[in-house]
Amino acid sequence: MKPEVETTVPRVELRPKDAAAGQWLEVAMGPHHPSTHGVFRMDVVLDGERIVQLKPVFGYLHRNHEKLGEGMSYLASIPYTDRLDYFCSLTNNWAYTLAVEKLAGLTVPERAEYIRIITAELTRLQNHACLAGFLLQDLGATGTPLMYAFREREKILDLFEALTGARMMCNYMRFGGCRCDLPEDWVPRAKKVVAETPRFIDEFENLLATNEILLARTQGVGALPAALAVNAGITGPMLRASGVNYDLRKVDRYGLYDRFAFKVPLGAHGDTYDRYFVRMLEMRESVKILEQALATIPDGPIIDPKTRLRGFRPKGGEAYGRIEAPKGELGFYLISDGGPNPYRYRIRPPSLINLTVLEDLCRGHTVADAVAILGSVDIVLGEVDR
């Protein structure tokens, strides 16, 4: 990695409105547009079909998570974290509880750590499957891949429902552990779902990995150099697709991830295809973690009995906790003034920060490629706008 990085944000000066500017076309894609992921808007300036400038516009789903979090107790914020990245409520729970545990110095029993890893990896599986489905939908494969992905997702959601009572908004983890223990037949059911997953990944790859349209539309499109990715704070599969080996499960070793053998898949080119394929490989690694964790899950309590959930008042101070969420580094920064509510409740959203380089990726490509690039970044607007 070179220390010298181009750090000034490149800006294109638009030609004045008179004279030759007539050929340039300004188009607002979104907030209602079939291929923006949610209520996201891109103000693009086009030269023919090529993108000259692209400005993302946010805030159409700004639901004031942070303001609400500062007005309620630590426990009451947990259901709100579900609604950040609404595909991955369990990893959001984990990031928040990790920050609170750091703030108050709580410990988590071994069984609860196992359950957290199992649910987080299942979340990662269904997130990446849906990402691949949506990306291919954006590329024109209308319906079929997304249906395959959602078929797989429903199996995992059934497991979540059996465990937590809800399909999407699980509200499951608590600081110091988890809310309830696994139901009786849950581990065998989960083993069955996990055992079926590699067949789904194979099927998906056979269908698509050598598809000529997919290759033509994604290879060499939207390449992200590693130095820029690091400087722009890109995290998660998008960073690793650019070849930077930085996975918080290995770096921070939070939870009990160091007990499990798994690899960190890396891309070489950082283009749309690598971003897609790194996620497919990550799903296979998640299956490995799940197989190990489900085989060795120990008995024991699921929550530290000393934890006070209600009336929880940590001492004054601050803490930043972060985990490797499916979309990147999800962090929570909490400042406590000793009261029942956090004084400051900040969410570090990977989806928002991964969009920093969207303009750099799209410039010079066509509008249709911008749609594919946005699909490969993998954003969820609940987390971008919060």
Partner 1 sequence: MFSLEEIKSRLEAAIPTARLEIVANPSPSGQHSLRVDRDSAVAVARLLRDHAELRFDYCSNVTGVDWLAAEWTEKVKIKQPVEGGEQEIEATRTARRPAHLEVVYHLYSMEHRQGPLILRLCTGDRTADSHLPSLTPIWRSCEFQEREVFDLFGVHFDGHPDLRRIFMWDEFKDFPMRKDYVEPDDYEYEPTPHDEVLAKARKHQLPEAPT
Partner 2 sequence: MMDAGLKSELQKQGVFTTTLESLYNWGRRNSIWPLQFGLACCAIEMIATTMARYDLARFGAEVFRPSPRQADLMIVAGTVTKKMAPQVVRLYNQMAEPKYVIAMGACAISGGPFKQGYNVLKGIDRFIPVDVHIPGCPPRPEALIHAFMTLQQQIAAQELTGPRRPRHLQPELPSEFPVPRYGDHDLVPPKNPDRWTAPAISRSNS
Residue 213 binding result from partner 2, partner 1, none, given CB thresholds of 5 to 8 Å by partner type: none
Tell the smallest beta-carbon distance from residue 308 to partner 1 (Å): 15
Distance between CA atoms of residues 231 and 225, nearest Å: 10
Partner from partner 2, partner 1, none binding residue 271, C-beta < 5-8 Å depending on class = none
Are the C-beta atoms of 377 and 140 separated by less than 8 Å? no
Find the binder of partner 1 among 141, 356, 366, 367 (CB under 8 A).
356
In this complex, which beta carbon is closest to partner 2, that of residue 83 or of residue 313?
83
Query: In terms of CB distance, is 176 or 382 closer to partner 2?
Result: 382
Residue 168 binds which entry of partner 1, partner 2, none, with Cβ cut-offs from 5 to 8 Å by kind? partner 2
Site residues (vs partner 2, CB under 8 A): 31-34, 38-39, 59-64, 67-68, 71, 79-80, 83, 86-87, 146-147, 150-151, 153-154, 167-169, 381-382, 385
What DSSP assignment string belongs to 24-92? EEEEEE-SS-TTSSSS-EEEEEEETTEEEEEEEE--TT---HHHHHHTS-TGGGHHHHHTTSTT-HHHH
Contact status: 66 vs partner 1 (CB under 8 A): yes
Q: Amino acid identity of 273?
A: Y
Least distance in angstroms from the C-beta of 131 to partner 2: 13
As measured in angstroms, the least distance from the Cβ of 169 to partner 2 is: 7
Whose tokens are 């406590």? That residue is 336
Q: Which does 38 bind (CB under 5 to 8 A by kind): partner 1, partner 2, none?
A: partner 2
> How far, in Å, CA of 358 to CA of 353, rounded?
10
Mention every residue, 6+ apart, whose C-beta is less than 8 A from residue 76.
Answer: none
* Backbone CA torsion sign across 326, 204, 281, 231: negative
Tell me how far, at minimum, the Cβ of 64 lies from partner 2, in Å: 3
Please tell me the distance from the alpha carbon of residue 189 to that of residue 197, in angstroms, as a whole number: 13
Q: Which is nearer to partner 2, 142 or 296 (CB)?
A: 142
Measured distance CA(360)–CA(228) in Å, rounded: 10
Helix (H/G/I), strand (E/B), else coil: 2:
coil
Residue 210 CB coordination number (10 Å)? 9
Shortest distance in whole angstroms from residue 237 CB to partner 2: 20
Give the DSSP H or E segment for 172. Answer: none
Are 331 and 97 in contact, with CB atoms under 8 Å apart? Answer: no
Q: How far is the CB of 281 from partner 1 (least distance, A)?
A: 20
**Number of residues near partner 1 (by CB under 8 A):** 48
- Interface residues for partner 1 in 98-157 (CB under 8 A)? 102-105
Contacts (CB under 8 A) with partner 1, residues 333-352? 333, 335-336, 343-344, 346, 348, 352
H helices present in 209-314, as ranges:
212-218, 226-231, 237-241, 248-251, 272-296
Q: Which is nearer to partner 1, 279 or 386 (CB)?
A: 386
Burial code (b: 16+ CB inside 10 Å, e: under 16) for 136-152 equals bbbbebeeebbebbeeb
Query: Any contact of residue 253 with partner 1 (CB under 8 A)?
Result: no
User: Of partner 1, partner 2, none, which one sits near residue 31, judging by CB under 5 to 8 A according to partner kind?
Assistant: partner 2
**Position among 198, 246, 259, 366 found at the interface with partner 1 (CB under 8 A):** 246
Site for partner 1, rule CB under 8 A: 1, 3, 7-9, 11, 58-59, 62, 64, 66-67, 102-105, 228, 230-234, 244, 246, 251, 314-320, 322, 329, 331, 333, 335-336, 343-344, 346, 348, 352-353, 355-357, 385
